Amino acid sequence: MKHEVNLSNARLVLPDRVVEGSVSLRDGRIASIDEGHVARAPAMDLEGDWLLPGLVELHTDNLEGHVKPRPKVVWPMLPALLAHDAELTAAGITTVFDSLRLGDEADDDRCYTTLKESVEEIRGAEAARLLRSDHRIHIRLEICKAGVVEDFADFKDESLLSMCSLMDHTPGQRQFANIEAYRTYYMGKMGFSEAEMEAYIDSRLAEHDRWAGPNRAALAEMLRDTDIALASHDDATADHVAEAAALGLTISEFPTTLEAGRACRAHSLTTIGGAPNLVRGKSHSGNVAVIDLARNDLLDALASDYVPASLLLGVFRLHDELGWDLSRATAVATRNPARMVGLDDRGDIAEGQRADLIWVTRSHDLPVVRGVWRGGRRVL
């Protein structure tokens, strides 16, 4: 039996313009688009609000936040996953690359276990039709950690794995070029004393000297001939970008300077900016403001990072503050990220595309999600 849905009286955010009209969904795809006051009965009236493609999220740490809601507290994976999934849906995210780390923290013995449990529960929950968003895996690989290459070997053939990023959070460079910002961040996050913080910094510097070079090269080689999208992370200089391009990376996540953003253009790397940075108007660690990347035409996509709701807010900030037309602003959270990872079946309101759509209104100048369809079925 065919499943059909008609959505009428909407402002449709199409790839090249915004028009009043209606959309018909059939068997999980967009079957037709009608401009003007044409409606196929029966139809749901969207009351003149916007209809956007479902948001595509390439980097969110949000699942880890649900798994570890407090220091030394580990929440069961399935309820953590379901709560995370519900939050994503309320934010308008219909495709998500759950970003899970190997390495990076003082308590990194949990990283491998969390990643393994996440993969297992996502697969099981999807089979049981418990998930509203389409979940993929993005592994964040901390290249300065001993054993990260061996640990990654256990996951490199995982069917859910669609993206990897090579991270280096060594103090004094990249995201944390400002060492005082690094101290403030980690002392607050980990509860370190001054002495513990100094010892931690020394250990991270030693790990960088020993492992960064060989691990970066080994991981890039392991991923070179796969379909897995590969990104650099927190590029700060033209040399960082050149190094990433030489290794075959195609995406630069969260470039921290205009210099790095411009180098990405020179080396044909696409860029992802942090939506929380855009919404707040600044970086929490003193790096370039994403709105300045956008002003200089150095922004290709947004990622919500640690606040799922920031993705839609970021789209409308580009529209309201920079004057980007809504089609262009929407693309940084829909079509562009989808294409960056090889997904060409979603991200646009166009015939034949997956019927992943979000109904958005505005209240007190804020975009608010009123409805979500994934594969033509309403999930919110």
Which phi and psi (to 5°) does residue 131 adopt?
-100, 140
C-alpha 155: how far from chain center: 20
Are 333 and 360 contained in the same domain?
A: no
Where in 257-378 does DSSP place strands (E)?
A: 270-274, 301-303, 357-363, 366-374, 377-378
Are 169 and 307 contained in the same domain?
A: yes
What would the two tokens of residue 352 be?
């034949």
pLDDT of residue 279: 97
Are 242 and 285 contained in the same domain?
A: yes
The residue segments making up the domain with residue 60 are 55-345
Residues 6+ apart with CB under 8 A from 337: 56, 57, 58, 272, 301, 302, 303, 347
Are 83 and 231 contained in the same domain?
A: yes
Q: How far apart are CA 363 and CA 92, in angstroms?
A: 16
Total of domains in the chain: 2
Cβ-based burial of 297 (10 A; exposed 0-12, middle 13-18, buried ≥19)? exposed
Are 354 and 335 contained in the same domain?
A: no
Are 289 and 373 contained in the same domain?
A: no
**What is the secondary structure of 186-229 as a DSSP string?**
HHHHH---HHHHHHHHHHHHHHHHHHHHHHHHHHHHHHTTSS-E
Asked if 287 and 256 count as a contact pair (C-beta separation under 8 A), the reply is: yes
What CATH number is attached to the domain comprising 372? Answer: 2.30.40.10
pLDDT of residue 245: 96
Are 298 and 192 contained in the same domain?
A: yes
Are 9 and 149 contained in the same domain?
A: no
Q: How far apart are CA 58 and CA 43, in angstroms?
A: 33
C-beta neighbour count of 191 within 10 angstroms = 11
Are 287 and 369 contained in the same domain?
A: no
pLDDT of residue 177: 64
Q: How far apart are CA 23 and CA 40, in angstroms?
A: 9
Tens-digit pLDDT profile for the chain (380 aa)? 577 899 999 999 999 999 999 999 999 999 999 998 776 778 999 999 999 999 999 999 999 999 999 878 899 999 999 999 999 999 999 999 999 999 765 555 678 999 999 999 999 999 999 999 999 999 999 988 888 999 999 999 999 999 999 988 766 566 666 677 677 777 666 677 778 777 877 777 877 777 888 999 999 999 988 999 999 999 999 999 999 999 999 999 999 999 999 999 999 999 999 999 999 998 876 789 999 999 999 999 999 999 999 999 999 999 999 999 999 999 999 999 999 999 999 999 999 999 999 999 999 889 999 999 999 999 99
Are 215 and 301 contained in the same domain?
A: yes
42: cis peptide before it, omega within 30°?
yes
Closest CA to 355 of 126, 119, 31: 31
pLDDT of residue 190: 67
pLDDT of residue 296: 98
Closest CA to 6 of 379, 373, 380: 373
Are 374 and 299 contained in the same domain?
A: no
Asked if 160 and 135 count as a contact pair (C-beta separation under 8 A), the reply is: yes
Q: How far apart are CA 8 and CA 368, in angstroms?
A: 18
pLDDT of residue 84: 98
pLDDT of residue 104: 62
pLDDT of residue 100: 95
Are 64 and 43 contained in the same domain?
A: no
pLDDT of residue 206: 79
Q: List residues bridging with 21 in a β-sheet.
A: 10, 35
Q: How far apart are CA 355 and CA 41, in angstroms?
A: 18
What CATH number is attached to the domain comprising 303? Answer: 3.20.20.140
